[in-house]
Amino acid sequence: MPGENCMDRLFHWIRQTYAAKAPAQRHLTPDRAQGIRLFGHLLGVTSSVVVVAVAYLHAADGRMPLGVAHQFAVLVALTAAAFTLSFATGFNRRFTDPGLTVAQMATSGAVIGYLVWAAPDMRPFVPPFYMLVLAFGAFRLKTHQQLAISAYFVLTYALPAAAAGAAPVQAWAVPALTLALLLLGMSLVGGYVNNIRSRLRSTNAELGRALQKIERIATYDDLTGLYNRRVIHETATREQKRADRSGASLCVAMLDVDHFKRFNDQYGHVVGDQVLRMLSRILQSTLRDTEHVGRYGGEEFLIVLPDTTAQLATMPVERLRAAVASARIEGLPPEVRVTVSVGIAQYRRGEGIVATIGRADAALYEAKRQGRNRAVCREP
């Protein structure tokens, strides 16, 4: 853009880059979060279907009775349906962990433990099932949680085998020890990755807060909380283009505090700042939502009045001027009142918004020449 400086380009680039990637994470709605949990659960269900398919493959190869495979499939289906219903109805939101990660993993471990108990010949082939379940929560749980789940998995493997009277002991003890070592390694790696993800989330949150602060600095005046000069000028330009397209009327008003230097000189800059804050509050409360105002510089403010003719613009401006004149300012003697002068100009198609603002500024100086505390409309 013409006249755009390096800082403007930086702010624009940050807004475009971050807004394209971050809103889904910064402003995650409850429904969207629930949808993400349900999606993660359905991925786990897909993994369960794969495990059931592998069980049937081994049953076809004669390593376990087909009836056991059927029973295993029914258990998997029942647990999957129970958790799916919990997510679908929102029941999961009652718990500290709405994702029910530990609960799903613990239930899966128990179901796999049934397979260890009912199909002795399958025991050497079961450890990968546990590892697949641990992978489900590897990036969601902390290291100590994954270690606890791993210990639970080893128990669900070893205890059913021991209860079934497996002999010799090494037939299940060696696979159990192997499973324990593999799960230990996966837990350590998963915990490390989870820690990195936690730090990234924290960093992203800090980046989001920093971006919001930068956006506010780039958009609003720090003292008054109104739009700064750049943004109110962009707003006026946007309204000018809309007026050109639709044929609607548009007015701008330039407002200036009368004798503002006197307040600073006689009562101090703190009181001067109080005057500007008071004025910004009155501007925000008096103008309509469709109207825009920004601090143009010093004690000058630019007001953009869409769908408004010069004749209609005098009404909100006069209402604003009267509200300022009757306001009390902390730090000023009761008899001292703040007044403003306002210049109004209606946009003429083809002249450009800069020229319209210039005519409003000329009308402002005419109001001051006429004695201040008044509004003047600069129209032929």
Strands 250-257 and 340-346: antiparallel
Q: How far apart are CA 174 and CA 179, in angstroms?
A: 8
* CA 19, chain centre distance (Å): 9
Which residues, other chains included, contact 306 with Cβ-Cβ below 8 Å and sequence gap of 6+? 239, 242, 243, 248, 250, 290, 291
Mean pLDDT of 240-254: 93
pLDDT in tens, 7-32: 555 545 544 544 444 444 445 577 78
Strand partners, 301: 255, 295
Mean pLDDT of 207-211: 82
On average, the pLDDT of the chain sits at 83
Q: How far apart are CA 160 and CA 114, in angstroms?
A: 7
Tokens of 163: 């209860």
299 tagged catalytic: yes
- Beta carbons of 288 and 340 less than 8 angstroms apart: no
Which residues, other chains included, contact 146 with Cβ-Cβ below 8 Å and sequence gap of 6+? 134, 137, 138, 186, 187, 190, 191
Residue 63 pLDDT:
81
pLDDT in tens, 103-160: 888 898 898 888 888 888 887 888 888 888 888 877 777 888 888 888 888 888 888 8
Q: Cα–Cα distances in Å, from 56 out to 62, 65, 75, 250?
A: 10, 9, 14, 75
Percent share of the chain, pLDDT over 90: 26
Mean pLDDT of 294-302: 92
Strands 292-297 and 300-306: antiparallel
Core vs surface per residue 175-200: b (16+ CB within 10 A) or e: bbeebbebbeebbeebbeebeeeeee
* Burial class (CB within 10 angstroms; exposed 0-12, middle 13-18, buried 19+) of 106: middle
Residue 6 pLDDT:
56
Which residues, other chains included, contact 31 with Cβ-Cβ below 8 Å and sequence gap of 6+? none
- Beta carbons of 287 and 295 less than 8 angstroms apart: no
**ω into residue 98 within 30 of 0, thus cis?**
no
Selecting among 291, 299, 335, 379, the annotated active-site residue is 299
Mean pLDDT of 50-56: 89
Q: Cα–Cα distances in Å, from 209 out to 201, 203, 205, 213?
A: 12, 10, 6, 6
Strands 340-346 and 292-297: unpaired
Q: How far apart are CA 214 and CA 71, in angstroms?
A: 60
Query: pLDDT higher for 8 or 360?
Result: 360
Q: How far apart are CA 66 and CA 43, in angstroms?
A: 26
Q: What DSSP character marks residue 227?
A: B
